[in-house]
Amino acid sequence: MTFQDIFKSGFLENVSAVSVLDMALALVLAFGLGLFIFFVYKKTYAGVMYSSSFGVTLVALTMITTLVILAVTSNIVLSLGMVGALSIVRFRTAIKEPLDIAFLFWAIAAGIVLAAGMIPLAVFGSVFIGIIILLFANRKDTTRPFIVVIDCDGHNSETEALRLLEQHTVRCSVKSKTARKDAVELNAEVRLRDGNTDFVNDIAKLKGVSNVVLVSYNGDYMG
């Protein structure tokens, strides 16, 4: 190998492997699809704490995946090295919402399909998936669960409070009960009959009841 051969690197030969037009078109479309995924995520989010950084991550992940696949499809040797490099990557961020996993895979899949040149499939597939998620995620459930916390002073007030709960709800199930001297705390899961929460006021007016709290939750209960 001569001194000139050292500078005959394949790196410079790969500069024109992907045209500027292809790169610009792919990244612009990836940005558009990423924004659409972010819009669907924002509209369908039903968690407690909305994270705007996760939405930005979806846009960036779509573009980054497109960038990587463009490089891989232009060089078969690079694709083998890329597989080895990505195999050592470990992500430690906990995914709290199950639907967030679907959005992550959606962003990755859109970037892969787009960079592979299947633009109609990427656009139509993303629109179809977005419509399905919007329809099902935003579907209102009139029987969504609620937790009622009742603080009362004894058996009589407890019995009367439970009686009112059963009258005004579709289902009432006691999840936990804490008894102390002259104090009882009840935690019950209820399903509202018609969305009316006025019965909480009626329970609070009962003799012996000091506090009533109605909280909506996602239905997961450990215990």
Residue 222: predicted pLDDT: 40
Query: If phi over 0 gives left and psi between -120 and 50 gives alpha, with beta otherwise, what is residue 133?
Result: alpha
Residue 76: predicted pLDDT: 60
Residue 39: predicted pLDDT: 92
Distance of alpha carbon 153 from alpha carbon 184, whole angstroms: 6
Give the pLDDT confidence of 83-110 residue by residue, as tens digits: 555 555 555 666 667 788 888 899 989 9
Distance of alpha carbon 203 from alpha carbon 92, whole angstroms: 46
Which residues of the chain fall short of a pLDDT of 50?
Answer: 1, 3-4, 6-8, 219-223
* Annotated domain spans of the chain: 13-137, 145-216
Q: Are 34 and 61 in contact (CB under 8 A)?
A: yes
Q: Are 81 and 68 in contact (CB under 8 A)?
A: no
CATH architecture classification, 145-216: 2-Layer Sandwich (3.30)
Measured in degrees and rounded to the nearest 5, phi and psi for residue 65 equal: -65, -40
Give the pLDDT confidence of 173-190 residue by residue, as tens digits: 888 888 888 788 888 888
DSSP notation for 39-65: HHHHHH--SSS--HHHHHHHHHHHHHH
Residue 3: predicted pLDDT: 47
Distance of alpha carbon 37 from alpha carbon 65, whole angstroms: 14
- Cα dihedral 112, 115, 117, 123 sign: positive
Q: Which residues of 57-77 are buried (b: 16+ CB within 10 A; e: fewer)?
A: bbbebbbbbbbbbbbbbebee
Rounded to the nearest 5 degrees, what angle is found at the Cα of 121, between the Cα atoms of 116 and 123?
105
Across the chain, where does the E strand assignment appear? 145-152, 169-180, 183-192, 209-216
Residue 7: predicted pLDDT: 47
